[in-house]
Amino acid sequence: MRRIHVLVSGLVQGVNFRAFTRRRALALGVCGWVRNLSDGRVEAVAEGPDDAVADFLAACREGPPAGAVEAVEVREEAYRGEFSDFEVRYPYYY
């Protein structure tokens, strides 16, 4: 099992990036969350089987058709198994 913390920059807000990642996560069986940050990036935490998390990360690098991903920062974290779903959270700055 694997857990990653992802920061995605580029044209990633206002282009359905969060909904896109949620759909991909649910289809892959990945749990966690995604939210917008005040600096224009999107932040996500994802947990699940190694292959599924790798596919989720590939989706983050791709982004939705209306977006343009410029960079993806990935930090591996210890798997915790703390999520049962993948949710869109309110932006950090609210």
* Residues near 82 by beta carbon (within 8 Å), at least 6 away in sequence: 47
Q: Quote the CA–CA distance of 17 and 21 in Å, as a whole number.
A: 6
Catalytic, out of 2, 24, 35, 36:
36
- Please indicate whether residue 16 is annotated as part of the active site: no
Catalytic, out of 2, 3, 18, 41:
18
The 10 Å CB-count burial string (b at 16+, else e) for 55-77 is bbbebbeebbeebebeebeeeee
Point out the residues that are catalytic.
18, 36
